[in-house]
Amino acid sequence: MFKGFSRLSKDEKRQILIREGLISENELTELIKAEHSQVEFRKRLEGFSENVLSSYHLPFSVAPNFLINGSLFMVPMVTEESSVVAAAAAAAGFWAQHGGFHCVVKNTVKVGQVFFEWEGEPDQLHKVLSELTAVLNEAAKPITENMEKRGGGITGYSLVHHVAVSEACFELHVEFETADSMGANFINSCLEIMATEIPEFIGQHFPDQPEAEIIMAILSNHTPECTVECYVEAPFEALGKFDTNGDGKHFAVRFKKAVDIALNDTSRAVTHNKGIYNGISAVLLATGNDFRAVEAAGHAFAVKNGKYVSLSGVTLTDNSFRLSLEVPLAVGTVGGLTRLHPLAASALKMLKEPDAKTLMMVIAAAGLASNFSAVKALTTSGIQHGHMKMHLVNILNQMGATSEQVEEAQRFFKDKTVSVSAVRSFLTKNN
């Protein structure tokens, strides 16, 4: 046990790790090297977390040519997977020539929950719900006033009786609009005020009943109403370039079968949706949004009908192909890290300072682009062909290749299959 570890300086924490044999002096050197050279920037990063030892760097990339509802975007992406940006950019370039991505935000409702126990009759609470909500709105007014000026605020209430938990378990379900903010702090602050008001209100209205006891008050990352739809569409002939025989309809039919498998087989659906989130999460990270919350919401959305399925679908007509995606995306362009992290701020500037709805559409398009590229690869050359080409430099670096060997290997493997054993054999012969 390390008591008071968080109160130690960064150097003291590092020395404990060395003393315990958890890192070596060489690894300590790497930690120090990874720190940002500018003290002010480094301190800002360290303020984001606890027990900071160093900074962990990921590539900040951009995927060009995203035509979304007629506007062209350069989309910032942060990811360690080498093929994600290339795949998204390739898909974006293709679809920009065929009408681009068509997106619409269906809703932006976000949710909070106050759970409490009360031994009274549910009908009694329902009868006074409108009176309760008026009290709660008034109590939360100091917090909601500024949000209301920006077009947000509390938009609705409902009462849920969770009999599966216990006969005494209730939930006040609260809906919010948070404008361009992610809204987590705003929602939680409102809910905690409500949690102090509910027991007092129930006690005043039902003095002969047992007191209500708050269990917890917290936002929900399950946002099935806060969704965006995105689709791409093209005639079969436009897809001919992806088929070995130039048959666009053959490609489209095979593509649809692959997506239909993900709509019916859970094992495939999980990997299929992971491919969608390759694009979505990369943009979320770049813009300082909560990728964990969005992914959790997406996977819950994928199982909304009782079985985990693909988030995307394909429709074929007599002569055209349409790939569509609907996902929940509770994101923001103000608050959190969106402005506090300089690179997140730069990412939003790169996107022309979008509002939250525009960012939702950009993120959905990145997800659909990643999905298209992944399924295209699976149904044509195979996923490893392009992935391993992109991964070649990583393999070479892991094997300690010189810059000259890297250049020679890239020329050598231009028309050959890349694998770890093949790269090792190449280095052995060219040592």
Residues acting as catalytic residues: 81, 274, 290, 387
309: phi then psi, degrees, rounded to nearest 5: -135, 175
- Hey, what amino acid is at 111? V
For residue 78, the SS3 value is: strand
Give CA–CA dist 72/75, Å, rounded.
9
- Dihedral, CA of residue 348, residue 350, residue 352 and residue 357, to nearest 10: -40
Closest to 360 in 3D by CA, of 84, 87, 178, 107: 107
Give CA–CA dist 298/207, Å, rounded.
43
What number of other Cβ atoms are within 10 A of residue 295's Cβ? 17
Half-sphere exposure of 89 (CA within 13 A, CB side): 13
Closest to 65 in 3D by CA, of 103, 93, 88, 97: 93
Closest to 140 in 3D by CA, of 107, 114, 159: 114
What number of other Cβ atoms are within 10 A of residue 383's Cβ? 19
DSSP H helix total and E strand total for the chain: 17, 10
